[in-house]
Amino acid sequence: MAGRRRQTFSQATLATVRDAGSEPQQFLRLMSHEMRTPLNGVIGMLGLLSRTRLDGAQRAYAEAAQASAEHMLGLVNDLLDYARLEAGKLEFDAAPVDLEALARGVAELLAPKAQDKGLEIVWSVAADAPDVMADEGRLRQVLFNLAGNAVKFTEAGGVRIAVERAGGTEAAPRLAFIIDDTGPGVPEAARARIFEEFGHVDASDATRHG
């Protein structure tokens, strides 16, 4: 019975994919939704597995698998956001943002990867940085992606996440979110290319760093 249900579901999904094939954004939205459900199941089961009695190696394997699944879920969520953005349906939920908690949280998420590479990761928020209203989830996503790239491409030294006042007026202040690193930087000739879809500094860049 379970096998029959899975087959019926797959056939229905395939038919929907065929219908959506002419609309790339619709196809991305569909596939992102379809992939999130099993990925969340995998992450949940791996979390439960990690709570059982495991030896050191087994626990390391389970945690590595969970981290990989969570990374894949993040990529799927990025695809879904991209599809929404292309369709003009990306929504923002503005609310007060705790800038210190935001910067600290991003640094803490990236700290294990930075430490594995022998890098220092630090954060700071200027005392004169004003309170802001923003979509904290989207803001965290942008900072995490930028700082994550800094960690990925930096081989020695460290990464700094900073929030500073950047002018404006009392009624409409401006903030600067800064990601500094001691990596190789981006050659001037490649700076326009990295803003293209799937752009890299050079072809070997994607192979070396993923």
Q: Where are the domains of the chain?
A: 2-86, 95-209
> What ranges make up the beta strands (E) of 112-198?
120-125, 132-134, 158-168, 173-181
**7: confidence class by pLDDT, cuts 50, 70, 90:** very low
Q: Which two tokens stand for residue 168?
A: 């404006």
Q: Do domains 2-86 and 95-209 have the same CATH topology?
A: no
Q: The whole model's pTM is what?
A: 0.62
Query: What region does 177 belong to: left with phi over 0, alpha with psi -120 to 50, or beta?
Result: beta
User: Per CATH, the architecture of 95-209 is what?
Assistant: 2-Layer Sandwich (3.30)
For residue 205, the model assigns a pLDDT of 53
Q: Give the pLDDT mean for 176-196.
A: 81
The answer to whether the Cα torsion of 8, 13, 14, 18 is positive or negative is: positive
Least confident of 40-54, 80-94, 153-167: 80-94
Cα gap 120→181, rounded to integer Å: 10
Digit-coded pLDDT (tens) for 41-74: 888 898 899 888 989 889 888 888 888 888 788 7
User: Per CATH, the architecture of 2-86 is what?
Assistant: Orthogonal Bundle (1.10)
